[in-house]
Amino acid sequence: MDVGGVSSTSSSFLGMGDYGEEPHVLAVDDNLIDRKLVEKLLKNSSCKVTTAENGLRALEYLGLRDDQQNTLNGSGLKVNMIITDYCMPGMTGYELLKKIKESSILKEVPVVIMSSENIPTRINKCLQEGAQMFMLKPLKQADVKKLRGQLMKHRN
């Protein structure tokens, strides 16, 4: 359930028994419908999902907000991937990506950027800043399955 801030729901679908626990994905999007959609897509791909409605909330969850101590107490270490919308009020997905890549603890966590707009300069900018992948919205099940495949390779 998403109650405006940050929320976590566990997937009951255990499809990847060989790998033990399911990957935990933090999904960031200011659009409520898109949040619900990406959560379902990820759960259908055997991921545990936490959603956040903006960059600031995401950073709080990860323990990366400016006024938080950069300790291991944040939830950051429990996140295997972050997927974020590009266009968000306040902090864009690009700015969020930068903050994550600047963090000594979280810079190795793959970050995927989503956008409804196919703008090559935007895509390149994100990839150059270290985004794992750029995905066009609306997301489809096939896109997320591909992402899941990449994630498994990344873990190994």
Partner 1 sequence: MEVGQLQRKFVDYTASLFCEGFLDEQFTQLQQLQDESNPDFVVEVVSLFFEDTEKLLNDLTRALDQQSVDFKKVDAHVHQLKGSSSSIGAQRVRNACIAFRNFCEEQNTDACSKCLLQVKQEYSLVKNKLDTLFRLEQQIVEAGGAVPMVG
Q: Is 13 in the site for partner 1 (CB under 8 A)?
A: yes
For the segment 127-156, give every residue that binds partner 1 (CB under 8 A): 137-138, 140-141
Q: Is 40 in the site for partner 1 (CB under 8 A)?
A: yes
Q: Is 125 in the site for partner 1 (CB under 8 A)?
A: no
Burial class (CB in 10 A: 0-12, 13-18, 19+), 101: middle
Written as six digits, the tokens of 4 are 């405006």
CA distances (Å), origin 96, targets 45, 54, 85, 86, 145: 24, 9, 10, 9, 24
Q: C-beta of 25: minimal distance to partner 1 in Å?
A: 16
User: Is the Cβ–Cβ distance between 60 and 73 less than 8 Å?
Assistant: no
For the segment 45-84, give every residue that binds partner 1 (CB under 8 A): none
CA distances (Å), origin 48, targets 98, 119, 124, 125: 24, 30, 29, 29
Interaction mask 19-38, partner 1, x per CB under 8 A: -----------xxxxx-xx-
The H or E element that residue 82 is part of is: strand 81-85
Indicate the residue among 44 and 70 with the shorter CB distance to partner 1: 44
**Sign (positive/negative) of CA torsion 55, 102, 72, 144?**
positive
Q: C-beta of 15: minimal distance to partner 1 in Å?
A: 12
Neighbours of 60 (CB within 10 A): 18
Q: Is 3 in the site for partner 1 (CB under 8 A)?
A: no
Q: C-beta of 33: minimal distance to partner 1 in Å?
A: 4
Q: Is 87 in the site for partner 1 (CB under 8 A)?
A: yes
Interacting residues with partner 1 (CB under 8 A): 12-13, 30-34, 36-37, 40-41, 44, 87, 89, 116, 137-138, 140-141
